[in-house]
Chains A and B, each alone.
Chain A
């Protein structure tokens, strides 16, 4: 899962990015409306955290521009403006959630999980595919009753595939969604991680669709 954080306060930006990376997301950051607007429009993010009081271009204007350009990624507005009129305006501009400063990081993380879940059509914080269970809240993975220890890259890969279970995910898409901008993208690494994941999980969960990418079958109820 790849996220974008647009926040002009350096300290807060660092804190959010650190917390998100710690939670297993690939994170890009921007410090003003211009850069943030450009990144949001050109990169395929899974969710965006957007401050409203931004230098150069105002957050609401950035959000409006994204929605006009067809950016579908869920956007969480992060702002000090907490009047209901501001919130109404934010939601009407196309925001998916609204977090007011000062906030607790846990709250922000919970809201991000919620919008990601909603955008991929999952109702609960736990995603189950076959014998594999992934708890998005705690970041824990288990096969049957046995917990599996994964590195953050492995977790991201599994999480993305499980969130999009039932759909073939190409290698290019995985690269775009698993790594932040600055990462040296080499498609071979994806194959390496998939190989390691298969070994660790020990079950036949991730299928390779030749020439197209990878697929996880959705849970059968």
Chain B
């Protein structure tokens, strides 16, 4: 069935609703048909019983009054038998007698009731016969017929008829109320089905939102209990997530190992060529430098790729900055730069410690390269629309950077001053990492006179 296939593609809710609708309609329709048939049968039988009572009355009159010729057959206490062409008729007669002796109700108005069996057919003699026949004025009649054997007085046939549309009208009334009832029942069933679908498919909706939380990196696994039917699904999804994470970890480790493994031979090549002045050596040095930059870049990319799923971790900023300050004081001790850090306790970064170290490290490194003697690091937490942002400021008293050059330094591999050491990747790595955390890196003029780097990252106010 193409319709079913179309529906099957859409949604489980529609499938459930469609099949519930189909079966409800089928059952209601069948029940309606059976009920109305039963009712018609019952109504018919009740009608027949009434007709038979009249027929029995007539028969007993016939039997108890002696001479059939003087017999006064009554009106059966029902005025409709006297009303011309009322639809209610009786007729008593001897079908075999010559001349025919026929008596009938006044309502018949001289017309004759048709017989249920053809004249001369004795096969149903003695039975009470019932049936529909066309009566006067082509009205459909319900007819009951019985035979009375009066011995030597001969055989009589008593016929009583009533209008068949009375049965029909009653059955139609019944079908009408049945339809109304079943219609209401159908609507109630439909509503119940919708409620059931919503309730029944609830765990699926829950599963979906749990999964999308995993995709957004807000959760690592699918939590909670699920009904027996979809618990295996949730379990399989968790296993899949684990496998995925493992593959990612392995890939990351391998990229890391590869990159680190390449660096030693690269060192050997660079040192083997040394500072030889010839052209080949110069080209090898140049290519080795490109290789080193590429290795570093892809190493950073691999680290960044592992970010998804680690957004749940929280890092205290103060120890990170303190460790970096210790390190930079050693690296730049010959320069005699004074590095001051003022990080309030409880300033937290929503992310990995290593990434925070990498970002702040690169920024301090840059500041140290340019500073004349002072570097200041400060941080605070800013609330904005229910979200907390960690803002880290790194100031130096170096030459600073004109506004138009600030965008340039963020480009990959861009070095504004080739005389300073570095690959030119540091600041673009900071920007890329910050962007992965939906944070930003911007530059301003520092109150110390040099450059101020402003790093904004997801924070934690709790």
The listed residue with most A CB atoms (<10 A of its CB), out of B260, B334, B362, is B260
The verdict on B233 contacting chain A, using a C-beta distance below 8 Å, is no
What's the Cα separation between A65 and B362 when bound, in Å? 30
The verdict on B270 contacting chain A, using a C-beta distance below 8 Å, is yes
State which residues 370-404 of B face A: CB under 8 Å: none
The verdict on B15 contacting chain A, using a C-beta distance below 8 Å, is no
Which of A55-63, A85-93, A168-176 faces chain B?
A: A85-93
Q: Are A83 and B292 in contact (CB under 8 A)?
A: no
Contact A15-B358, Cβ < 8 Å, known A53-B260, A88-B326: no
State which residues 88-147 of A face B: CB under 8 Å: 88, 91-92, 96-98, 100-106, 114, 118
CB < 8 Å A-B pair total: 80
Q: Are A102 and B288 in contact (CB under 8 A)?
A: yes
**Chain B 260-278 per-residue mask, 1 if CB under 8 angstroms from chain A, else 0:** 1101111111111011000
Q: Are A106 and B275 in contact (CB under 8 A)?
A: yes
Q: Which residues of A contact B362 (CB under 8 A)?
A: 84
The verdict on A212 contacting chain B, using a C-beta distance below 8 Å, is no
Q: Which residues of B contact A15 (CB under 8 A)?
A: 268, 271-272
The verdict on A191 contacting chain B, using a C-beta distance below 8 Å, is no
Q: Are A19 and B264 in contact (CB under 8 A)?
A: no
Q: Are A81 and B260 in contact (CB under 8 A)?
A: yes
Q: Are A12 and B323 in contact (CB under 8 A)?
A: no
Q: Are A97 and B270 in contact (CB under 8 A)?
A: no
Question: Taking the nearest CB of chain A, how far is it from the CB of B58, in angstroms?
Answer: 115
Name the prevailing secondary structure of the B interface residues. helix
What's the Cα separation between A104 and B326 when bound, in Å? 25
The verdict on B324 contacting chain A, using a C-beta distance below 8 Å, is yes
Contact A101-B263, Cβ < 8 Å, known A84-B327, A87-B327, A91-B330: yes
B contact residues, range: 20 to 34
**Chain A 73-85 per-residue mask, 1 if CB under 8 angstroms from chain B, else 0:** 0000000111111
Q: Are A105 and B271 in contact (CB under 8 A)?
A: yes
Instruction: Please give me the residue from chain B that is nearest to A100 by CB atom.
Output: B263
What's the Cα separation between A9 and B330 when bound, in Å? 27
Pick the residue among A84, A101, A104, A118 that contacts B358 (CB under 8 A).
A84
The verdict on B357 contacting chain A, using a C-beta distance below 8 Å, is yes
State which residues 263-304 of B face A: CB under 8 Å: 263-272, 274-275, 288, 292, 296
Q: Are A87 and B263 in contact (CB under 8 A)?
A: no
- List 30 A–B pairs whose Cβ atoms lie within 8 Å, in order of A's numbering: A9-B264, A11-B268, A12-B268, A15-B271, A19-B271, A80-B264, A83-B358, A83-B361, A84-B327, A84-B357, A85-B353, A85-B354, A87-B327, A88-B324, A88-B357, A88-B361, A92-B327, A96-B330, A98-B331, A101-B266, A101-B267, A102-B270, A102-B288, A102-B292, A103-B267, A105-B271, A105-B274, A106-B275, A114-B334, A118-B333
Residues on A close to B: CB < 8 A?
A: 9, 11-12, 15-16, 19, 53, 80-85, 87-88, 91-92, 96-98, 100-106, 114, 118
